[in-house]
Amino acid sequence: MITTDVLIIGAGPAGLQAAIHSSRSKSKTIVIGKTKLSSLKWAHIENYCCMDETHQGPDFLESGVKQAKRFGAEIIEEEILKIENIDGKFKVYTDSGKEIISKSLILATGIKRNKLGVKGEKQFLGRGVSYCADCDANFFKGMTVAVVGDGSAAASGALLLTAYAHKVYLISEKLEVDGRLSSQIEASEIQLVKGKIKEIQGNEKVERIALSDETSINISGVFIELGQKGAIELASILGVILNDQGYIMTDKEQETNIPGLFAAGDVCGPPFQVPKAVGEGCVTGLNAAKYARKTK
């Protein structure tokens, strides 16, 4: 079991700035996340104060990682699958099986921009289409469901659903998950289907999915779990309050309704901009470190 003062989920500009401020306050700081999955990876930045030329996102991220490490932060390139609040401390589980306990936690996971983009997805949202297995699994007790995605969110969502649903399909073009998750999928009763969903069909509710190889599968629910676990899924179990646009609500100190749990960057809502992510990251880094100092 690894222990730390401040744990940051997300290695984008919000998480890295938080790590710089937290580690400079002499708090033990761990960042979990992959820079290659930050939105900034795709950006060319020319609206960041004091940088008069266009900068490439990957260069920004590389410098941020170097800076955070120089001040003592540890960066672990993994994904978080679950968070628990145990007696006021936060325990997280990574996709490789690491367990980390922290006095304070910062969510800087950015936003998922990835909808499936198929016919029926919007029409059946809330009537069989879900983006959160952790939130909605219970509504599908005893039913047949499909989970779609190629990453850890889909794999762990499908595993979770086996405890509720009668039958679980995992629809994936190319499943790319850590070895531990991959063996869990193999050992389970999940039916892995290599392919792509073409359309979600039904009448009042979802009834089937049509696949690109012209076959179809009868199901009652489809969970769209593309990429990594999003902040909303991770936070929902902890009872974090969201604002009316569905983003994480914080106060001016960037603290959520859960003491010791902070959030920064795109997860807190628009504008989706690097300067805002960095500003909020700074505030969370300082405040999470302060919180950890007064926690035994």
Ligand X SMILES: Cc1cc2nc3c(=O)[nH]c(=O)nc-3n(C[C@H](O)[C@H](O)[C@H](O)COP(=O)(O)OP(=O)(O)OC[C@H]3O[C@@H](n4cnc5c(N)ncnc54)[C@H](O)[C@@H]3O)c2cc1C
- Residues that contact ligand X, how many (by CB under 6 A): 33
Q: Which of 4, 7, 12, 225 binds ligand X (CB under 6 A)?
A: 12
Beta bridge partners of 148: 171, 224
**Residues contacting residue 293 through CB under 8 Å, at least 6 positions apart:** 5, 25, 27
Please, what sign has the CA dihedral across residues 175, 178, 179, 180?
A: negative
Q: In the bound complex, what is the minimum distance in angstroms from residue 196's beta carbon to ligand X?
A: 23
Q: Which stretch binds ligand X (CB under 6 A): 118-126, 189-197, 264-272, 287-295?
A: 264-272
Complex with ligand X: residue 104 or 220, whichever CB lies closer: 104
**Residue 115 is a binding residue for ligand X (CB under 6 A):** no
Q: In the bound complex, what is the minimum distance in angstroms from residue 16's beta carbon to ligand X?
A: 7
CA angle 205, 207, 210 (to 5 degrees): 125
> Among 249, 288, 240, 287, which Cα is nearest to 269's?
249
- b (16+ CB within 10 A) / e for 263-282: bbbbbbbeeebbebbbbbbb
**Residue 32 is a binding residue for ligand X (CB under 6 A):** yes
**Residue 2 is a binding residue for ligand X (CB under 6 A):** no
Residue written as tokens 């047949």?
Answer: 144
Between strands 206-211 and 216-218, the pairing is antiparallel
- Alpha-carbon distance of 38 to 280, in angstroms, equals 16
**Residue 10 is a binding residue for ligand X (CB under 6 A):** yes
Q: In the bound complex, what is the minimum distance in angstroms from residue 34's beta carbon to ligand X?
A: 4
Q: Which stretch binds ligand X (CB under 6 A): 62-70, 104-112, 165-173, 195-203?
A: 104-112
**Residues contacting residue 217 through CB under 8 Å, at least 6 positions apart:** 146, 169, 193, 208, 209, 211
Binding mask 221-260 for ligand X (x = CB under 6 A): -------xx-------------------------------
**Residue 39 is a binding residue for ligand X (CB under 6 A):** yes
**Residue 272 is a binding residue for ligand X (CB under 6 A):** yes
**Residue 34 is a binding residue for ligand X (CB under 6 A):** yes
User: Residue ranges of the alpha helices (H) in 44-148?
Assistant: 57-70, 133-136
Q: Which stretch binds ligand X (CB under 6 A): 37-45, 187-195, 240-248, 287-295?
A: 37-45
Complex with ligand X: residue 110 or 202, whichever CB lies closer: 110
Q: In the bound complex, what is the minimum distance in angstroms from residue 259's beta carbon to ligand X?
A: 22
> Among 2, 15, 3, 1, which Cα is nearest to 292's?
3
**Residue 108 is a binding residue for ligand X (CB under 6 A):** yes
Complex with ligand X: residue 217 or 267, whichever CB lies closer: 267
Q: In the bound complex, what is the minimum distance in angstroms from residue 275's beta carbon to ligand X?
A: 6
**Residue 43 is a binding residue for ligand X (CB under 6 A):** yes
> Among 292, 251, 284, which Cα is nearest to 88's?
292
Interface with ligand X (CB under 6 A): 9-15, 32-35, 37-40, 42-43, 45, 47, 79-80, 108-110, 228-229, 265-266, 272-275, 277
